[in-house]
């Protein structure tokens, strides 16, 4: 007896823009990822900018056609109705729009001077927001497509971050604008994630995709890596206890 027939792969709808999606998007994404998506025009524009920021090749004169195709064929899907609870609480939310579209701002960090730092994960940058003036300054990384993810400040005011796509730990001196990179010593150590300092000044970090935990000594630049005992446990968030023991979540395991 033969096996069950393979399920037919869903196809992109015909129309102007289909060929652009096939050329620019399907090299990295399965068609189902696109077909199951649904956004309004503004959010599709943000998604397109995110992809452009990490190297998607779409000529500027084709962006309008691509946007119209996605908006028409994959519109925003209905959201679940909220359950409203009455009360006297007042909530005020203020927003600041980052300068680089599609930068995908990540992991905010409160700095001692009152500013807020963040990583522009898809924009290859670090950003600094002054909430009092609303001014945002962007610091663009030296290495393209680094994918900065988590960040933390040291006692000297330097900003440390994980180069999620490029496999390194980075440091920015905000005063001089100088970048320093510490490549992970194992080629398989991909996807560095959450950095955090212990009280001795040692930087610990998770390496999610490689199933590792790492430590970096800023004085010597030495990096050590160990593998989580559970395969594919995906180390993710991390904290340091009062006795300098790192604790982490295994995102891929319970």
Cα gap 168→203, rounded to integer Å: 13
Q: Which residue has the tokens 């900018």?
A: 49
What the block records as the tokens of 104 is 């995908």
DSSP characters for 107-120?
EEEE-TTS-EEEEE
Please list, in sequence order, all residues whose beta carbon lies within 8 angstroms of the beta carbon of residue 187, skipping any fewer than 6 positions away.
Answer: 167
Using H for helix, E for strand and C for coil, what is the string for 32-88? HHHHCCCCCHHHHHHHHHHHHHCCCCCCHHHHHHHHHHHHHHCCCCCCCCCCCCCCC
- Indicate the angle between helix axes 41-53 and 63-73, nearest 10 degrees: 130
* Residues 152, 109 contacting (CB under 8 angstroms): yes
Q: What are phi and psi of 214, to 5 degrees?
A: -130, 160
Question: Using CA atoms, how far apart are residues 74 and 62, in angstroms rounded to an integer?
Answer: 18
Instruction: Give the residue carrying structure tokens 């950003």.
Output: 127
Task: List the catalytic residue out of 106, 121, 149, 193.
Answer: 193
From residue 24, alpha-carbon distances to 66, 137, 198 in Å are 10, 31, 43
Active-site residue flag, 193:
yes
Write out the catalytic residue numbers.
193
């Amino acid at each position: 007896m033969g096996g069950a027939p393979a399920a037919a792969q869903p196809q992109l709808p015909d129309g102007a823009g289909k060929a652009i999606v096939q050329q620019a998007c399907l090299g990295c994404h399965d068609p189902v990822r696109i077909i199951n998506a649904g956004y309004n025009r503004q959010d599709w524009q943000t998604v397109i900018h995110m992809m452009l920021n990490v190297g998607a090749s779409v000529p500027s004169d084709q962006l309008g056609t691509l946007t119209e195709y996605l908006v028409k064929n994959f519109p925003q899907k209905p959201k679940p109705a909220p359950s409203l609870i009455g009360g006297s609480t007042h909530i005020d939310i203020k927003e600041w729009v980052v300068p680089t579209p599609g930068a995908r701002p990540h992991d905010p960090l409160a700095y001692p001077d009152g500013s807020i730092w963040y990583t522009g994960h898809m924009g290859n940058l670090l950003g600094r927001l002054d909430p009092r003036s609303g001014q945002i300054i962007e610091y663009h990384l030296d290495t393209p497509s680094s994918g900065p993810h988590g960040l933390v400040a040291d006692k000297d005011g330097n900003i440390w971050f994980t180069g999620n796509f490029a496999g390194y730990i980075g440091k920015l001196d905000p005063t001089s604008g100088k970048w320093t990179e510490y490549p992970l010593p194992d080629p398989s150590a991909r996807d560095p994630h959450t950095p955090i300092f212990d009280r001795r000044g040692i930087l610990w970090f998770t390496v999610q995709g490689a199933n590792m935990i790492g430590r970096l000594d800023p004085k010597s630049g030495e990096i050590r890596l160990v593998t989580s005992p559970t395969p594919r446990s995906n180390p993710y968030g991390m904290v340091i206890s009062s006795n300098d023991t790192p604790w982490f979540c295994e995102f891929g395991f319970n």
